[in-house]
Structure 1
């Protein structure tokens, strides 16, 4: 199933995160992360960050795959990043998170106050590809996406929980392979770990 082949790399990324996060408890890094993949707590400069920032990044990767948009977030600075997050997750949720950190966000931009449904956003941005997926696969992918992209890091799924999500577990039984192209333009197949 072509739907699952997109997510093999996502699984390995999550597995890497899980193994890394078992060792890491809490980090003190105000400005960590790659632009476009930084969690709201990084953008709002939360002093102590946990492995939840990596789960957010994995969620952004999943969002990019589902929507067919990479990079999904393009902000050049923190102010733009807040506007982008508010556009996708609703101004109220970003504002509430900021208030909990004793910050306030003021804007004259007409942002949506409530979180628009992610399943609607994804279908709007990549309807043709999503039509080729089964309803079950799409619902499971959106379920995992919502859990990875909780604005409040304390509500976000952990890497260990993500690896146990039905969407990723369903890949255990799939015959998944990834096509790669060499420098010479030849196509090669790489098999999944189950096929080796």
Structure 2
């Protein structure tokens, strides 16, 4: 029977794969526009530098052969988490107006609603699965409190994307932020 740590390593690898498959919205170009309404909608994979491949080192490792108490499994999990928490950002997007659709992971939740949250590319990220790499988490501080917003709701966020690290004790490390963001519920085409 496989142990927890090998499953955790596998979950981290699967989370990265899910990130690449979870692109929200059509591919777009990132111009230097400052008009938020006309900002391009980004796909999540655009936030990852093309040269970054965090899975390269682990491709030839048989996770099934590792057990919970295996020091190699513990070391690999710690190393992988450190690499993901320090994932590089796409510097070409720093300071650009953008739109990005994703799932809400609340950082504050008051009776008035949610104003600050992490935007993640796939359902369950940071809550039911390990956090994705930092370049796949955006800290959002909305321009105003959004009522009726809950964990894992889908939203579209618009604003200026900035390179900024933010570490949440429980939810992961973000590599980007959008402050003063416009937040709207995501509606899929045809709905």
Relative to the length of structure 1, the TM-score reads 0.29
Which one has a larger percent strand, Structure 1 or Structure 2? 2
Compare the two structures and name the one with the higher helix fraction: 1
TM-score (norm 2): 0.30
